[in-house]
Amino acid sequence: MAAPVTKVPASALDLRDLSKEIRRDTFQMAHHAKSGHLGPAFSIVDLLTVLYFRFLRIDPENPKQPDRDRFILSKGHGCSSLYVTLAKRGFFPEEELKTFTLDSSRLPGHPSSKLLPGIEASTGSLGHGLNLGAGIALAGKRGKCDYRTVVIVSDGECDEGSTWEAVLAAGNWKLGNLICIVDYNKIQSFGRTKDVMDLEPFADKWRAFKWHVQEVNGHNHDEILKALEVTKKEPDRPSVIIAHTIKGKGVSFMEDTVDWHYWTPTDEHLKQALSELK
Amino acid sequence: MRTTFVKTLLALAKKDPSIWLLTGDLGFTVLEEFRDGLPDQYLNAGVAEQNMVGVAAGLAMTGKTVFVYSIVPFATFRCFEHIRNDVCYHELPVCIVGVGGGYSYGHMGSTHHALEDIAALRSLPNMTVVCPGDPLEVEGAVKSIVELRRPCYLRLGKAGEPKLHDPAKFSFTLGKSIEMLSGNSVTLIATSNMLETALNAANLLKEKKLQPRLLSMHTVKPIDRDALFKAADETPLIVTVEEHIPTGGLGSAVAEALAGHTRRPPQLICSAPDRFADTTGSQKFFRSKAGLTPDVIAGKIVSALSNL
């Protein structure tokens, strides 16, 4: 039985506006909390927008419904934009975003499924999410359930051996209900991927591990949605969508810089960012 | 022990389709019956323990009760952070089953020895650490773990361990030790595959007209504080016996529990040394080298009692 889809709010109908709003709120939230990791939160905003407002079969009123689609943000450090997305999708009041990283908050710097509805798995250490996702997908496949499992991993996370263990296993287990999206912004924590640990030829690696591979512009909503829909036609192998993204996308001074993996925004930064995200 | 483990689990899994068994490509001559009998509840996850534990956690997130099987170091140290984050933090019904506790894989070398596992697993919040001492305790432990539906570590020996309890009088409760001998001369506390050695040591003490108490501490976490306090109140010496390094194992757990108790008798920790094996040897050889034999343990106890 298919889970009921909650009516998407009218304000959500324009994905471009919505992505901009999510970026704006995320920036404000990070500024308020004096928190970093804005770059990796911004590169996934368009992916999150399409997933939560066009693709995932979820019901914020019943976040634990057994038949729901599962989403895991394996790169947990990018969770600030996920919090904003979840709030806008109705999982918890937007007002609560102000508590990001505060004492006793439900919104720590890496997401916890024990604290917040809508978070499927607690992440923060890299190289865990795809393994969990493979387990959830395997249960769905053997149990003949029709839910899908979507995992966003970072490019830096593809340095982890455990990630490739999951890639190898999911290909062998023919997990057609598992979708991995790589946020390929090409900058990892302390340098560019090509300098730190080059992943290329990246798509070929996934193909060699028996995955269906697509590459998209990770900031083009139409391309993202189309690629997600294509995965439904691949029931016998897992799908990877390599999303070419820009770290810090949407705010000029953050785009494609290593620094904004860490830096916390000042009042000046906030002013400029808000003017660019109007 | 491993045969009893799989037999018990298979019987339970036949009645409960949510019980799964995952193996890290080990279990030759042990897991075949489960594999062939319940293929939909079985998975050989390959030689990839990090993924296996993550997958187990993912399965458990959908309502399964998952047992993950490998030799102790591979089932624990190799994938420790996955046990910590994926299983323990999420409080999922995943049981890590380690075969080859202590020096069980003696001549295989230090890579296969399991002497630090209780310390490591006991350090994790939400984890229950169960180290059965004979096949009856294994059977009781597996049944209890299925009912518990929480993170667990089950430390098994290997094969061929004798039954040490009287089946007619046997009952098993997680977190509650079993008093196998009652007496007030000294309390011996054993865990895992040291139970037989401790029982034999106690029998040697009986020949010397002592009345030893013997506790099988099959659950090291949470530890049976009531039995420990009672032993501290009623006996002049506590002796812990474990095939594990002295750091963080049974001896440590007992000392921690008794640290806050008013009456604290001296404690003699009988354990493996805090070092890797410096030569090749069988389990019997390494036990002998470590003084983990009934006569050496009994001798140390007699000596300790005479010095009180």
**Which of B45, B50, B59 lies closest to A139 in CB terms?**
B59
Residue A2 lies in a domain: no
Residue B252 lies in a domain: yes
B209 & B72 share domain: no
Residue A214 lies in a domain: yes
- Best of B20, B21, B61, B92 to disrupt the A interface (most A CBs within 10 Å) is B61
Tell me the torsion sign for CA atoms A200, A196, A82, B79: positive
Q: Do A114 and B89 touch (CB under 8 A)?
A: yes
Contact residues for A26 (Cβ-Cβ < 8 A; gap 6+): A38, A41, A42, A45, A80, A81, A83, A84
B19 & B142 share domain: yes
Classify strands B178-181 and B212-216 as parallel, antiparallel or unpaired. antiparallel
Residue B166 lies in a domain: no
Measured in angstroms, the CA of A126 and the nearest CA of chain B are apart by 11
Supply the ipTM of this predicted assembly: 0.95
From CA B234, how far away is CA B228, in angstroms rounded?
10
B13 & B122 share domain: yes
| Residues above pLDDT 90, as percent of chain B | 99
B35 & B139 share domain: yes
B226 & B195 share domain: yes
Residue B162 lies in a domain: no
Q: Tell me the pLDDT tens digit for each residue of A51-93.
A: 999 999 999 999 999 999 999 999 999 999 999 999 999 999 9
B149 & B40 share domain: yes
**Residue range B247-261: average pLDDT?**
97
- Lowest pLDDT segment from A54-58, A254-258, B142-146, B156-160: B156-160
User: Of B125, B155, B185, which residue sits at a domain end?
Assistant: B155
- A169 contact B CB<8A: yes
CB B138 within 8 A of CB B80: no
Residues 145-164 of A with CB under 8 A from B: 161-162
Q: Do B50 and A165 touch (CB under 8 A)?
A: yes
**Residue range B220-243: average pLDDT?**
98
Q: Of A91, A82, A100, give the one whose Cα is nearest residue A43.
A: A82
Cα distances (Å, whole numbers) of residue B60 to A234, B21, B83, B274:
26, 12, 13, 36
pLDDT tens per residue across all 278 residues of chain A: 344 445 555 445 699 999 999 999 999 999 999 988 999 999 999 999 999 999 999 999 999 999 999 999 999 999 999 999 999 999 999 999 999 999 999 999 999 999 999 999 999 999 999 999 999 999 999 999 999 999 999 999 999 999 999 999 999 999 999 999 999 999 999 999 999 999 999 999 999 999 999 999 999 999 999 999 999 999 999 999 999 999 999 999 999 999 988 889 999 999 999 999 99
Q: Do B90 and A113 touch (CB under 8 A)?
A: yes
Residue B168 lies in a domain: no
**Which of A139, A162, A168 lies closest to B54 in CB terms?**
A162
Q: Taking CB atoms and an 8 Å cutoff, what residues of chain B touch A120?
A: 61
Cis peptide before A201 (omega within 30 of 0): yes
State the average pLDDT for chain B. Answer: 97
Token look-up 């049974």 returns: B250
- The predicted model scores a pTM of 0.96
Strand order in the sheet with A239-244: A70-73, A149-154, A178-184, A239-244, A212-217
Q: Do B45 and A120 touch (CB under 8 A)?
A: no
B137 & B180 share domain: no
Q: How many residues are recorded in chain B? A: 308
Amino acid present at B39: P
Identify the pLDDT of residue A12: 55
B199 & B229 share domain: yes
Q: SS3 of A147, please?
A: coil
Domain extent, residue A41, equals: 13-254+267-276
User: Of B102, B123, B155, which residue sits at a domain end?
Assistant: B155
Identify the pLDDT of residue A59: 95
Identify the pLDDT of residue B283: 97
Residue A3 lies in a domain: no
CB A114 within 8 A of CB B90: yes
- Beta partners for B66? B20, B94
- For B49, list phi and psi in degrees, rounded to 5: -70, -35
- Number of independent structural domains in chain A: 1
Identify the pLDDT of residue B118: 98
Q: Where are the alpha helices (DSSP H) in chain B?
A: 2-15, 32-37, 49-61, 72-75, 80-82, 117-122, 135-148, 195-207, 225-234, 250-259, 283-290, 294-306
**Residue range B138-161: average pLDDT?**
96
B128 & B187 share domain: no
Domain extent, residue B24, equals: 2-155
pLDDT(B182) > 90: yes
**Residue range B95-111: average pLDDT?**
96
Q: For residue B71, what is the DSSP state?
A: E
Residue A244 lies in a domain: yes
- Number of independent structural domains in chain B: 2
Q: Taking CB atoms and an 8 Å cutoff, what residues of chain A touch B60?
A: 135
- A125 contact B CB<8A: yes
CATH number at residue A211: 3.40.50.970
- Lowest pLDDT segment from A101-105, A261-265, B95-99, B129-133: A261-265
From CA A149, how far away is CA A83, in angstroms rounded?
19
